[in-house]
Amino acid sequence: MREEDSNWFAKWEEELPSPEELMPLSQTLITPDLALAFDIRNPPPNHNRQSTPPPPQLPQTTAHSSQPNSSAEFDSAELGGSGGGGDGGVAGVGGGMGSDEPARTLKRPRLVWTPQLHKRFVDAVAHLGIKNAVPKTIMQLMSVDGLTRENVASHLQKYRLYLKRVQGISNNGSGGVGGNNVSADPTDHLFASSPVPAHFLHPGRPNSDHFLPFMPVATMQQHHQMAAVVGPGPHHHPQLQQQFRHFGTSPPNGQFEHPFLRPSQQQVQRMGAPVHSNNGSVAPPLYVKDLESPRAGNGRKVLTLFPTGDD
């Protein structure tokens, strides 16, 4: 029953192109409203955590700030035929949101790090170099709307552990190096989906670098796929849980993706110092291809932000 992840996973493995890692990074992501459409998490009746201070990047654009409530119906662009399950599924979690809840102090839902997003992360780190690969820089370089330093920092930590893990693996017969070999840890799945820059292991060696075969963006299909908020907030009240079961597709492919695409806005945060990568490669704006496949099914309030793409 959990073999379902192998779907996209396997697909991505094959998709892992080489030049992609050195490819330019540019990310736009998550729609403003949606991304920040924070909703509620399930805070226990205890003290409320965090006060959600004024986020520096609140796209309070001029006007419409759609409230997070309600499901955002996005046109499901083209979905696969697999079932059409497109179901816009986002749960409108009814509950009580909708009218009350000052959407002002919202909390960000759990961020789902999808392989694509992780790749962006790795790319940024690779371009930055372990030296400058600090949360702030990475976050800025990623330009992922909705991504926060804390998010990156947290993930960075995990990523480092993963690297350490693969490093320590010297007896693993896999032999394959360079991309992903490692044995099979559950946590490795996520990291394994993203190629690991070879030189991530030695900081003291700014060399080795990689070749930069600048490959033109040949295949850039415009698939849209982005943030998707799913999940009802079941534990808010011990009463009934409104769960939305959105069946839809559970075929061998089971790809429930909510294709959304919104012109994400790129927020340029000011960085005091320009980020230079070790290999001196800048990051020219380019299109990125990514795919997202969040897991839905029951009530999970997660926000998976993502750009688009895919083969």
Cβ closest to DNA, residue 11 vs residue 41: 41
Q: Are strands 302-304 and 228-230 parallel, antiparallel or unpaired?
A: antiparallel
Tell me which DSSP letter residue 264 carries: P
Cβ closest to DNA, residue 102 vs residue 175: 102
Cβ closest to DNA, residue 108 vs residue 224: 108
Q: Is residue 223 a contact partner of residue 291, using CB atoms and an 8 Å limit?
A: yes
Q: How far apart, in whole angstroms, are the C-alpha atoms of residue 310 and residue 219?
A: 9
CB of 299 to DNA, least distance (A): 8
Cβ closest to DNA, residue 53 vs residue 216: 53
Longest dimension (CA), the chain: 59
Residue 1, classified by CB atoms within 10 Å of its CB into exposed (0-12), middle (13-18) or buried (19+), is exposed
CB of 161 to DNA, least distance (A): 8
| Strand, helix or coil for residue 227 | coil
Q: How far apart, in whole angstroms, are the C-alpha atoms of residue 280 and residue 222?
A: 29
CB of 216 to DNA, least distance (A): 32
Of the CA atoms within 13 Å of residue 84, those in its CB half-sphere come to: 0
Residue type, 253: N
**What does the buried/exposed string (b/e) look like for 55-72 if buried means 16 or more CB atoms within 10 Å of the residue's CB?**
eebebeeeeebebbbbbb
CB of 246 to DNA, least distance (A): 15
CB of 113 to DNA, least distance (A): 4
Cβ closest to DNA, residue 186 vs residue 274: 186
CB of 283 to DNA, least distance (A): 18
**Which residues are paired to 302 by β-bridges?**
110, 230
Other beta carbons within 10 angstroms of residue 221's beta carbon come to: 11
Cβ closest to DNA, residue 41 vs residue 246: 41
CB of 213 to DNA, least distance (A): 30
Cβ closest to DNA, residue 189 vs residue 276: 189
Task: From 88, 59, 51, select the one nearest 72 (Cα to Cα).
Answer: 88
Cβ closest to DNA, residue 64 vs residue 270: 270
What value does the CA radius of gyration of the chain take, rounded to a whole number of Å? 20
CB of 63 to DNA, least distance (A): 27
- Per CB under 7 A, residues contacting DNA are 41-44, 49-50, 107-108, 110-113, 134-137, 149-151, 153-158, 160, 185-187, 189-190, 231, 233, 235, 300-302
Cβ closest to DNA, residue 16 vs residue 275: 275
Task: From 27, 108, 97, select the one nearest 67 (Cα to Cα).
Answer: 97
Residue holding tokens 């998490």? Answer: 41
Q: How far apart, in whole angstroms, are the C-alpha atoms of residue 121 and residue 138?
A: 7
CB of 67 to DNA, least distance (A): 19
